[in-house]
Amino acid sequence: MQTNELSRLSSLYGGYWNKNVLDFCYMTNRYFPQQRMIEDMQARLPELIGNYPSTNWYLSSLLAEQIGLTQNELVIGNGASELINAVVSRYVHRLAVPMPTFEEFVNRAKILGREVCPFTPSQGFDLDIDAFIEHVRNTGSDSALLIRPNNPTGSYLSKSDLVYFLDRMKTLNLVLVDESFLDFVDAEPNPSALDLINEYPNLLVLKSLSKNCGIPGIRLGYAATGNAERLADLRKDLPIWSINSFAQYFLEEMGEYRTEYTESCRQVREATQKLARGLQQVPFLEPFPTQGNFILCRILNGITGEELTAHLFEDCRVLVNNCGAKEGLEGNYIRIACRTEEDNTRLVEAFMRLEKFTEPGKFDAAEVR
């Protein structure tokens, strides 16, 4: 069903800036960084290109200070993906994972020869924490993954449920908590697990800065743990210069933009909920509640995710994520990232134009155009 062009674009996993597409696949904060911050970076461009960045302990200290940690509790990586590889390689042998999930964890574990023990909830996408605890024990897993809020479903595990899990999983080698979308959560105050890392030595908090700070091209992420030995080992696994000078400059300047950043997250939450209301008006979509900056939708009327994403691309060169191949979401789901309100409106209008073509077998790309 996919055109050759769409298949090729999907295989690139980014680099869309010169492809004349509107990307609703990748979830980033479209309201940050501020223009002034970008202009400052542009002004420093010759220096940043011509100078080496500092080493990891110093870069880690820049961010650690901003979030109330020390350089011995946090390690910076070239995106969360670099840290996922390091963490899984060192500490995971048999990983329990609620499904559906962000597939890089599963894929990396399998590439490294680790065993994955998927847990699929019996109904809906909210995690039954007691059932997951039983699954961890029954499978003999030595590690467990929790993503808050979960990607791709947008469901959220409360901090009290996380503490409940940690209290009962003290014998695990690793509890890996991904908080990459946590800054968009409004379900409760102080949702982060960072203040728990010194209470639970097996807890490791992972976070990508690409999503919440809107900087996927700069490549920044961190891992935080109160286990000093583990932190030191992770830092040893990273090259001396894995973080570039642009990323260092961003970390140096970020502290001056905390107010603007907080406001940008509020704007993202508002835009996401407005997008959800728009998607509820699309007759062939059922959007699910979300605590992230993205929305999972079930496709009605028997249309598959592959069919819908292909024809949306053909109609207006808009990319959304086909989740039909994800375990637990087989066939008829898509995930839509929130962009600006203007872009989101354009997306909803594109879906409405496809309404009369949403019966199985009725899609005709030439007619849609």
Global pTM reads: 0.93
Pick from 50, 165, 53: nearest CA to 98: 165
Judgement on whether residues 9 and 124 belong to the same structural domain of the protein: no
Dist CA 208 CA 180 (whole Å): 5
In this structure, the answer to whether residues 232 and 275 fall within a common structural domain is no
Asked if 230 and 263 sit in the same domain, the reply is no
Cα 362 to Cα 80, 331, 356: the distances in Å are 41, 18, 8
Q: Would residue 49 count as lying in a domain?
A: no
Given this model, what pLDDT does residue 368 score?
A: 39
Same domain, 112 and 199: yes
pLDDT at 215 over 50: yes
pLDDT given for residue 124 in this prediction: 78
Q: Is residue 38 part of a domain?
A: no
Do 285 and 140 fall into the same domain?
no
pLDDT of residue 367: 43
**Residue 289 CB burial class (10 angstroms; 0-12, 13-18, ≥19):** middle
How many separate helices (H) and strands (E) can be counted in the chain?
A: 15, 13
249 located within any domain = no
> What is residue 369's predicted lDDT score, i.e. its pLDDT?
39
201 vs 171: CA distance, rounded Å: 10
- How many folded domains does the chain comprise? 2
What are the tens digits of pLDDT across the range 329-368?
876 999 999 999 999 999 999 999 987 655 555 554 434 3
Cβ neighbours for 317, distance < 8 A, ≥ 6 positions apart: 20, 21, 22
Structure confidence by residue, pLDDT tens digits, 23-80: 999 999 999 999 999 999 999 999 999 999 999 999 999 999 999 999 999 999 999 9
Give 64-120 pLDDT, tens digit per residue: 999 999 999 999 999 999 999 999 999 999 999 999 999 999 999 999 999 999 998
Q: Please indicate, yes or no, if residue 159 is contained in any of the structural domains.
A: yes
pLDDT in tens, 118-134: 998 867 799 999 999 99
Residue 180 lies in a domain: yes
* CA-derived radius of gyration, the chain: 21
> Residue 303's domain spans which residues?
4-33+259-368
User: Could you tell me the CATH number of the domain that includes residue 200?
Assistant: 3.40.640.10
Q: Is residue 278 part of a domain?
A: yes
* Residues 156 and 296 both lie in one domain: no
